[in-house]
Chains A and B, each alone.
Chain A
């Protein structure tokens, strides 16, 4: 994912708190993906407005972690969602 790209969850993909399993999940067409804390933290900043570098800057400050590391983890996670058409980029 490039720094200036803006990720967004397309229609039909949404974050949902699964109260039965006490976990966050990503609901998509005919799929449900369990989100770990990192995955949920990243997607919580995806709003269709912020660019990827803005998102990683926010996460870096919030979790007091080096921006490079955050960018690498987030990029891998978001690219994998993009390959499955769970994430669009504008």
Chain B
């Protein structure tokens, strides 16, 4: 019998899978929720209340592009009324100056803005959206003027890794307090694009070196969160802070997931907020209990001194690479698949000229943002 799980700290609310961009590393599932299956405003408001009562402190409004929801301002207002710290994760497309002012009035706490590249040529190619970079730069001026706290999220891969120094400068010019330097994680659409996106081992090492130096030089000015290239690593990431341990994810159609890629594990079934209370799903559902804690582990995880540090790594990665979601994450040096994954990573990295497979938007017509 496991000890009772702690309450969750963070909830990722994927308001929609619709997005004007089509980044080839999108974390949305390849099978996306259609517009007509999206939760309505009232249901989200109830879910925010349930989340706060359950112990969630941090709400991340994400997508897709959350600004593609016409009711975004109302959603922010209801999240703040529930007492949640409310963060908008956006590409900036769909945010006009007027809408930003409305979000300010609604009480939005923070904005995390994605950066696909540090110039229009790179950013618009990666995002598959011409003019996107210029609109983003304009939006940042409005964000600065209003005074929203800002974090930049620079998603890094073999094509734009060399732009990291400029991304750090841009963050400071924009008045960002934080930047996330996130090497692409290979789930969702990124799994289809490993040839096109995989950094070389040398690139990954160079990025780690730059981040280490920048953290030292920019201490107290710019906080740098770093997600390294885990295929090249020797120990897996502490995925989600442990399965069902710190956070949960509500998909656009109301399914409650332990992480955004959990639907890639075929034997799991997911409860919906329309059918059950969020607390019941968090504590009692089979999906959240499947890999919670350490009881599910086999060796080498079971006897490993790191088992409560990284919880065996990422379940979805074990599924995708090894075909067994309860296996040790193959990134781990103790996994029998570790060497094969390292070789595979080098093979992907040697094919950087492979074309992007862009994500496409879910079916049903895209409604205009405003």
CA distance A16 to B55 in the complex (A): 12
Residue A84, interface by CB 8 Å:
yes
A40 within 8 A of B: no
CB neighbors of A among B1-52 (8 A): 7, 9
Tell me the bound Cα distance from A25 to B9 in angstroms. 11
Task: Give complex CA distance A21, B109 in Å.
Answer: 22
| Binary contact readout A1-43 vs B (1 if CB under 8 angstroms, 0 otherwise) | 0000000001111001010110001010111100000000000
B266 within 8 A of A: no
Q: With contacts defined as CB atoms under 8 Å apart, how many contacts are there between chain A and chain B in the complex?
A: 56
Q: Are A27 and B54 in contact (CB under 8 A)?
A: no
- Whole-angstrom distance between the alpha carbons of A29 and B151 in the complex? 8
Interface size class on chain B is 20 to 34
Residue of B nearest to A18 (CB): B57
A interface residue numbers (CB < 8 A to B): 10-13, 16, 18, 20-21, 25, 27, 29-32, 82-85
Which residues of A are found within 8 Å of B83, using beta-carbon distances?
16
Is chain A's interface secondary structure helix, strand, loop, or mixed overall? loop
CB distance from B156 to the nearest CB of A (A): 18
**7 cross-chain CB contacts under 8 A:** A16-B83, A29-B87, A30-B58, A30-B60, A32-B57, A83-B219, A85-B223
Give every chain A residue within 8 A of B363 (Cβ-Cβ): none
Decide if the interface of chain B is mainly helix, strand, loop or mixed. loop
Q: Which of A29, A83, A84 contacts B110 (CB 8 A)?
A: A29
CA distance A13 to B83 in the complex (A): 14
Contacting pair A11 B58 (CB below 8 A): no
Closest to A25 in B: B57
Decide yes or no: A29 and B220 within 8 Å by CB, A20-B55, A85-B178 being known contacts: no
- Nearest chain B CB to A84's CB is how many angstroms away? 6
A32-B58, A83-B219 known; A20-B7 Cβ under 8 A = yes
A21 to B369, CA, bound (A): 38
Are B58 and A20 closer than 8 Å at their CB atoms? no
